[in-house]
Amino acid sequence: MARDAGKGEHGSSQRVKLQRELAEACPAFAPNLLYLARFLLLSDEPDAEGQDPFAEIQRLLEQAVQASDRSAPALVELAYFHDSIHNDFKKARGLYEEGAAKALETLEDAWAGLLNSLILEMKLQEALTLAEHAEKVFPDSGRIMGAVHEARQAAVAAGLSPPQTVDS
């Protein structure tokens, strides 16, 4: 059903019907909830829940937040919904903050891993560029700062950086 729901013409009622059925049958499948909510915001489909054109979308987004264990994409989508649709930037703010914090956790993980990979592959110029970004965003992260230091040491050893600039 998921594959079928992803097919078809943009804006087609059939697609929305399948996605709604999927949301009903698999309410824990957050990607479908998120996709359907976004899709409905830009479609002429009538709301499944009556007069309020946005009630179903809000419910889908709240479900997506819950089903995804408050993942960054779901939190940020719900934040944008409150911000731009309900004009409730105060409610949106907490969700933006939580979404950003979740996304940063992932970014820290990804950059620490990526830095180590680049060093191992001797892609030191790329490692140095990333190290510069990573150091600014995560100055207090032990894993990031360890990898940053390692990247700079490796660049010095490879003759890419002069030793005196290593700690500058």
Partner 1 sequence: MRWRMLLIGMLSMHSHGCSHGDGRTNPDAVYEDGIRTKGGSASVRIWVLIGKGQFAEAQVLIAESTAGGLIGRETAQKMLERISVLSTKLGEVHAKLQRVRDFPSQLKDFTCFESRKMLEAGDYSLATEAQLRRAVKIIEQQDRLMDKL
Provide the binding-site residues for partner 1, judged by CB under 8 A.
10, 35, 38-44, 53-54, 80, 83-87, 125-126, 129-130, 132
Alpha-carbon gap, residue 83 to 133, rounded angstroms: 30
CB of 52 to partner 1, least distance (A): 10
CB of 123 to partner 1, least distance (A): 9
> 90 or 142: whose CB is closer to partner 1?
90
CB of 66 to partner 1, least distance (A): 20
CB of 53 to partner 1, least distance (A): 5
Provide the token pair at 78.
Answer: 């719900």
CB of 108 to partner 1, least distance (A): 17
Contact at 8 Å (CB) between 94 and 127? Answer: no
> 29 or 39: whose CB is closer to partner 1?
39
> 124 or 142: whose CB is closer to partner 1?
124
> 38 or 142: whose CB is closer to partner 1?
38
> 33 or 142: whose CB is closer to partner 1?
33
Region of 3 please: left (phi>0), alpha (psi -120 to 50) or beta: alpha
Type of residue numbered 77: E
Instruction: Give the CA radius of gyration of the chain.
Output: 22
**From the DSSP assignment, how many helices (H) and strands (E) are in the chain?**
8, 0
Q: Which of 120, 107, 108 has its CA nearest to residue 150?
A: 120
